[in-house]
Structure 1
Amino acid sequence: MSKRRTGSRCRRAREFEAFVAGAAGRLLHTATLLTAETPQNNPYAQRLLAHALAHTYAGWDRLRGEDPYSRARDELAFRFEHGAWRRRRTRGGVLDRLTPRERTIVVLRLYEGVAEEQTAAMTGLPAERVRTHLHRAVAALCAPPPGAAGRERRPAPTKRTAEASG
């Protein structure tokens, strides 16, 4: 193996390490939101991130000016979209009330700031359907959780009210 090839591989590895050091935290948070796991217990999100980073590293030399973060994020969303049908149970994360498709759209549009047309292309949906899913998901997130509608919060009894009633 020539020194030139070895130097190129070392440079590639250093560039990728620098990318991972800067982007892995945000990408893990994105994966955690997608999987609806909690930040403290997110094994599926960690596996998704590992696969997305491995895929990004495999194509590192072919990026040619393309944003590696965008490539890794797109791979993360793609892997989630195509594997989510097997993992219906959520683990209590912030977006656990949403369907996998709605989570993908909410995370890409609102958290990552991906354009509607690009989100539509990534999910294979028309832009109008992306907009509909987004509105439905936001409405679901703004609504009270199921079972909370009939419960009213009453203030805890104070000493004065306890004495008056007893």
Structure 2
Amino acid sequence: MRDRQVARDARRAGEFQAFAAGAAGRLLHAATLLTAEAPDANPRARRLLTHALAHTYARWDRLRGEDPYDCARQYLATRFARTVWHRYGVPGRARPDPRSPLAALAPRERLILVLRLYEGVAEEQAAALLGLPTERVHTVCERATAALLHPARPAAPHPAGTEAAPS
């Protein structure tokens, strides 16, 4: 009996190790996009990844045909959403790194954009995961995409002496 348990634990650890080796890079990139940290300095993203992988490992035996990557991605997204809401909801607490491609977006915009465009999650699935109406997910994704593709330009200063004279 003991040998069977040891063999099962070793198989489980090997399966999870193979999964983590294949999925960790993509999940870390998604987490780095979410946190808007620089790729070479991303402690919050690494913490998110660690929690997501630990959660997936804890559920490994109960997945029963579910995609472990989907499980890890869902946990990553929901943990990010909760963390932003509870810890970083105060303006200025977690400033995005200006080197991040998504630094100009709000956390919810980053989350929806990463789920929809980077991870390829359908609008309906993203809405269900985040507890939002599908239309809201669509609107936020469109706005975030537009903000990235057409960033607002800073207002140009008026040259001296070119203001209109009062009538």
Residue 150 (str. 1) matches residue 156 (str. 2): yes
Letter in 1 for 2:95: R
Q: Following the alignment from structure 2 to structure 1, what is the Cα–Cα distance between the partners of residues 56 and 153? A: 40
Between the aligned residues of both structures, percent identity stands at 63
Name the CA shift for 1:145/1:38 in 2 (closer, same or farther; >3 Å).
farther
Aligned to 2:67: 67
Residue 19 (str. 1) matches residue 19 (str. 2): yes
- Write out per-residue CA displacement over residues 14-33 of structure 1, whole angstroms, 9 at most, x where no aligned residue: 00000011110000000000
Aligned to 2:133: 126
Q: How far 1:91 sits from its partner (Å)?
A: 1.6
Q: How far 1:146 sits from its partner (Å)?
A: 5.0
Q: Following the alignment from structure 2 to structure 1, what is the Cα–Cα distance between the partners of residues 151 and 32? A: 22
Runs (4+) of structure 1 exceeding 2 A deviation are 85-88, 143-147
Q: Following the alignment from structure 1 to structure 2, what is the Cα–Cα distance between the partners of residues 16 and 134? A: 33
Q: How far 1:102 sits from its partner (Å)?
A: 0.7
Q: How far 1:145 sits from its partner (Å)?
A: 5.0
Q: Following the alignment from structure 1 to structure 2, what is the Cα–Cα distance between the partners of residues 80 and 24? A: 16
- Cα RMSD after superposing both structures: 1.4
Residue 8 (str. 1) matches residue 25 (str. 2): no
Give unmatched runs, 5+ long, in structure 2: 89-93, 158-167
Q: Following the alignment from structure 2 to structure 1, what is the Cα–Cα distance between the partners of residues 55 and 26? A: 17
Aligned to 1:108: 115
Match of 1:139 among 143, 146, 154: 146
Q: Following the alignment from structure 2 to structure 1, what is the Cα–Cα distance between the partners of residues 8 and 153? A: 56
* TM-score (norm: length of structure 1): 0.86
Letter in 1 for 2:21: A
Residue 95 (str. 1) matches residue 102 (str. 2): yes
Q: How far 1:84 sits from its partner (Å)?
A: 1.1
Give unmatched runs, 5+ long, in structure 1: 152-166
* TM-score (norm: length of structure 2): 0.86
Aligned to 1:162: none
Q: How far 1:143 sits from its partner (Å)?
A: 2.2
Q: How far 1:127 sits from its partner (Å)?
A: 0.2
Letter in 2 for 1:38: A
Q: Following the alignment from structure 2 to structure 1, what is the Cα–Cα distance between the partners of residues 153 and 26? A: 30
Aligned to 2:82: 82
Q: Following the alignment from structure 1 to structure 2, what is the Cα–Cα distance between the partners of residues 89 and 95? A: 12
Q: How far 1:77 sits from its partner (Å)?
A: 0.3
